[in-house]
Structure 1
Amino acid sequence: MPSLHAACVVLGESGILIRGPSGSGKSSLALLLAAERDGAFVADDRVVCERRAGTLVARPHDALVGQVEIRGQGILSAQDLGLAIRPEAIVGLAIDLVAESPRLPEPPEDAEILDLRIPRLVLDRGVRRAGLAPLLIRAALRKQKP
């Protein structure tokens, strides 16, 4: 199974795959989302992905189950942080963390992972620093509801 350098959480019933370069804030965003009342932690750092019945399923790498790295704190247990934990998630949204994006960007194309198209949201550093990421992620998830 392929492993991605990413983090994964669940909000409600939607799996969210967070991608980005090292140090971009994947783990921090994952923890913020997992700490929401309807959030749960799935994986950090190495996310194993597979196709299952036409869906993308993400789970933690066996060596990292329930663990999250927080810069300056080290490797911590998601359970010790008081987070709900899920063993896997059906990914409904891919988030790409970038340094900068245009002021008025075009809507992003879907992510393509294991030949599956997944709705995608691009969040730049400014949006994340302003604390707007959770709001924008929930808006993206609402757009997917019929």
Structure 2
Amino acid sequence: MSTGPASIHASAVKVGDHAVLIRGPSGAGKSRLAFDLILAGRAGQIPPAVLVGDDRVHLATRGGEMWVSAAPALAGLIEIRGLGIRACDHVSEAPIGLVVDLMAEDAERLPAPEALRWTQNGIELPRIPVGTGQQPLPLVVAALTTTKSS
């Protein structure tokens, strides 16, 4: 069964085989985190990373996975604060593997297990709630490169 696509205000970067979906209010740093992930991929800190979409993306459920794609008018474009809108390499879509919520009200030093999950259309995905003033890149890199201790 397939549902979607639903358009949302978010950015997404494919890191390795799965996308990191970055949500948050206007000015929260979605584009900045997207570009930081691309740079971290180029530096070898995480698997290779490429833009899926910036500012507005579409979500669809297919084959038991949540997929993200760029809004067609914005494909291959990313906002770089201080430079404006720039063209960059991109992929058309990717299955989502991680959700990052910037300026999340439920961000905690030791978050409750339910705060670390996001469920949509029956699909549960890992989630990182990032608090205001907190640097998101180290959290995302840690989520992508470490495992939870028991």
TM-score (ref. length: structure 2): 0.79
**Aligned partner letter, 1:110:** R
Secondary structure at the residue paired with 1:126? Answer: coil
Kept after mapping to 1: 8 A contact 2:20/2:98: yes
Residue 54 of structure 1 is matched in structure 2 by: 64
Residue 45 of structure 1 aligns to a residue in which SS? coil
Structure 2's unaligned 5+ residue stretches are 43-47
> Structure 1 CA distance, aligned partners of 2:62 and 2:13?
18
Task: Say which of 29, 41, 66 aligns to 2:33.
Answer: 29
Moved over 6 A (4+): none
The C-alpha deviation readout for 1:38-67, integer Å capped at 9, x for no partner, is 111110011111011000110101111101
Same amino acid, percent of matched pairs: 40
Q: Bigger shift: 94-103 or 116-125?
A: 94-103
How many residues get paired?
135
Return closer, same or farther for 1:75/1:41 CA change in 2, 3 Å cut-off: same
Is this contact kept in 2: 1:50–1:114, CA < 8 A? no
The answer to whether the Cα contact below 8 Å between 2:104 and 2:129 also exists between their aligned partners in 1 is no
Once residues 51 and 102 of structure 1 are traced to their aligned partners in structure 2, the CA distance between those partners, rounded to angstroms, is 29
Question: Deviation per CA, 1:105-138, whole angstroms, max 9, x where unpaired?
Answer: 334241123342211001123321xxxx333213
Alignment match, 1:98: 103
SS of residue in 2 equivalent to 1:91: strand
TM-score (norm 1): 0.81
Say if 2:9 is the partner of 1:5.
yes
